[in-house]
Amino acid sequence: MIEDLMSKITSLAKRRGFIFPGSEIYGGIAGFYDYGPLGVELKNNIKKLWWQEMVYKHDEIVGLDSAIITHPKVWEASGHVTAFTDPLIECRSCHKRFRADNLENISDKQKSKMLSKQSLTDKNKEYIKNADKVCPDCGYAINTHVDTPKQFNLLMKTYLGTVEGEKDATYLRGETCQGIYLNYKNVLDSMWKKIPFGIAQIGKAFRNEITPGNFTFRTREFEQMEMQWFIKADLKESEKWFTYWKEERMKWYLSLGFKKENLRFRDHEPEERAHYAKAATDIEYNSPFSWKEFEGIHNRSDWDLSRHSKFSGVDLLYTNNETKDKYIPWIIETSAGADRMTLFALLDAYHEEPENKRVVLKFHPKLAPVKVAVFPLMANKQEIVDKAKSIFDNLKLDFHTMFDDIGNVGKRYRRQDEIGTPWCVTVDYQSLEDDTVTVRDRDNMQQERIKISELPQYFTEKLK
């Protein structure tokens, strides 16, 4: 059933032009995906709405677009070069990585419990039967004969220069926030910012994930939407802002129609926090493959700016002009994934309505890749087609609009339902007489007659 929903989403995503497997004609490449015509609209809507929410709504936040490639020392300072080079073994189920020598042996009882599950493939059974260790986190079997410990470094190396043998090694960024730290002083000086203030950025990040999977949930190239909030160096102050951002972020997902029962916070235990974090919470989504993180909120203290100050030799102290206090600001980070949000938006929106013989993506209208579809009732009646075309031309720059004259109207409704278009406009014989059209609502399938001249206003109101 669970696999069923994921395979339905994966197949709908491909069939209807949302997400395609990367390099498919060459047999594919694990951990990379391409966004099709509707996928790019959905993901762009998510990024645009995030930007509006973070940068335009919060007066003290400004935007940034920093380079993907930075000086290699950035990744030494950030701890990524050293923190990820232990020989680690990764659990196939929860994907957490552990030092192989710290793992407990698996008991026969644990094995037989796992083997009693009916959904196992023969390959899984074989793996569990011969397993020797157990995952300390989720309790799944680990078979160190198959999964040997590896030197894990998630950073993707690349080389600058053209002469072989003289190229400089550096990395594609593993997270977008480092570019924000590098520009913290530039933004502070150029924008006359005072603490507290934030810098927001959306951009690609790259990680050599050992086990990419669950469709676009874990990929090797993905987009992050990160905001770093610079505050006074004070534990109490940091706790206040940590709570503030947790609430703000959750409210945002709810405002976009995500089902409340599918979202929750999960606070990290001290031992599972990243090396820099004083406190950490995930916003998790109730996915078919269990509750999963799609945004992290972290109290990073002064770790990042202190490290960059030390490694670069540049003073990154903030001076309070009134009190003349000097300190390295602390940081609260909100770090979300645009790809995971796109996937969870698809999962959350997916509905099967056998009674209406339809599959429908009930996206919040703001997320919907296509807002309006315009149909001429008869594709061979020139006057109706011309009128529909002129409505389409009039709407298309303000609302992403699709023109469809293929098949009968019932089929066109089903096609639009399946891609989540909230409104379908049909031009019929009556339209020629009184300049009205029908507007059909995706969710309740009701139709209203609206004046053509009032359509822009009608959709603007609906999208508010």
Which residues contact ligand ATP (rule: CB under 6 A)? 175, 207, 209, 218-219, 222, 224, 293-296, 335-337, 339-340
Name which of 156 and 445 has its Cβ closer to ligand ATP: 156
List beta partners, residue 160: 168
Q: Between 175 and 417, name the residue whose CB sits nearer to ligand ATP.
A: 175
Establish whether 207 is an annotated binding residue: yes
176 is in an annotated binding site: no
Please state the closest distance from residue 307 (CB atom) to ligand ATP, in A.
Answer: 17
Beta carbon nearer to ligand ATP, 96 or 185:
96
DSSP letter at 47 equals: H
According to the annotation, is 221 in a ligand binding site? yes
Which tokens in the block code for residue 398?
A: 């303000």
Q: Is 334 annotated as a binding residue?
A: yes
Q: How far apart are CA 83 and CA 85, in angstroms?
A: 6
Assess contact for 450 and 424: CB atoms under 8 A: no
> Between 37-51 and 338-349, two packed helices, what is the crossing angle to 10 degrees?
110
Q: How far is the CB of 359 from ligand ATP (least distance, A)?
A: 26
How do 436-441 and 447-451 pair as beta strands? antiparallel
What whole-number distance in Å separates Cα of residue 286 and Cα of residue 214?
14
Q: Whole-angstrom Cα distance, residue 10 to residue 213?
A: 12
Residue whose Cβ sits closest to ligand ATP: 337
Nearest to ligand ATP of 278, 415 (CB atom):
278
63 is in an annotated binding site: no
Q: Where are the alpha helices (DSSP H) in 302-454?
A: 303-312, 338-349, 382-395, 409-419, 429-434
Q: Which is nearer to ligand ATP, 295 or 348 (CB)?
A: 295
Which residues are paired to 202 by β-bridges?
225
Residue 208 annotated as binding site? yes
- Minimum separation from the CB atom of position 209 to ligand ATP (A): 5
421 assigned binding-site residue: no
What is the DSSP-derived secondary structure letter of residue 25?
G
| Rounded least distance, CB 344 to ligand ATP, Å | 9
Least separation in angstroms between residue 415's CB and ligand ATP is: 30
332 Cβ contact partners less than 8 Å away, ≥ 6 residues apart:
228, 229, 231, 238, 241, 242, 245, 297, 298, 299, 300
Smaller CB separation from ligand ATP, 330 or 399: 330
Residue stretches of the annotated binding site for ATP? 207-209, 217-222, 337-340
Residue stretches of the annotated binding site for substrate? 99, 175, 222-226, 333-337
Residue stretches of the annotated binding site? 99, 175, 207-209, 217-226, 333-340
